[in-house]
Chain A
Amino acid sequence: DGGITQSPKYLFRKEGQNVTLSCEQNLNHDAMYWYRQDPGQGLRLIYYSQIVNDFQKGDIAEGYSVSREKKESFPLTVTSAQKNPTAFYLCASSMKQGTEAFFGQGTRLTVV
């Protein structure tokens, strides 16, 4: 089945710890995105990538890092510099930037 897979579904982070969220797609899409959603809020763009080995900061990139070494994979690291990381993180992909995007099932990150 084609789709976007995020893991884990739930993640707990201790203060000062870095954690990495996985996102894999087998749709052969060029563009991939990471969004953050806080309760009752819309989606805010963290990072995006149009092509392998290239990525750009979105609106709220501080405290996050990404890599795009393979077309299929776009992992997001939430670093200790992100002071309020508790949120719902959504990975998406699209054929090209600006076309319809499809989402993974999301990762809910909680700081403990």
Chain B
Amino acid sequence: QKEVEQNSGPLSVPEGAIASLNCTYSDRGSQSFFWYRQYSGKSPELIMFIYSNGDKEDGRFTAQLNKASQYVSLLIRDSQPSDSATYLCAVNTWNAGNMLTFGGGTRLMVKP
């Protein structure tokens, strides 16, 4: 079982719609959860992090965490073509030395 799993996509949404990206993790002891955006050929950039159950909003982005279900998601409201990228979920994994473990990423395509 992979420690952090994401649907590879591509997830295609029309411009202006809400994009919902999902991530599940296996280590129940995980405390910190991160979302990164990676444009093709570029390095990942941090979008958001969340530590507590519930929602955390930052502009058009909302991270949602449910530790009981071992599930973290990223919602992008009013999606723009410039949001087209691969989104990586990262989780700190206590049973692997408190390292950040990355999912394989979900490719998002926002169509004009």
Q: Which residues of A contact B (CB under 8 A)?
A: 33, 35, 40-43, 45, 48, 56, 58, 90, 94, 97-106
- Interchain CB contact under 8 A, A97 and B42: no
Enumerate chain A residues within 8 angstroms of B17, measured Cβ to Cβ. none
A22 to chain B, nearest CB (A): 15
Enumerate chain A residues within 8 angstroms of B45, measured Cβ to Cβ. 103
Q: Which residues of B contact A (CB under 8 A)?
A: 8, 31-32, 34, 42-46, 49, 88, 90, 92, 97-100, 102-105
- Interchain CB contact under 8 A, A45 and B43: no
- Interchain CB contact under 8 A, A42 and B88: yes
B68 to chain A, nearest CB (A): 21
B9 to chain A, nearest CB (A): 11
- Interchain CB contact under 8 A, B32 and A99: yes
Enumerate chain A residues within 8 angstroms of B34, measured Cβ to Cβ. 100-101
- Interchain CB contact under 8 A, A106 and B43: yes
A80 to chain B, nearest CB (A): 26
- Interchain CB contact under 8 A, A97 and B97: yes
B69 to chain A, nearest CB (A): 22
Enumerate chain B residues within 8 angstroms of A99, measured Cβ to Cβ. 32, 92
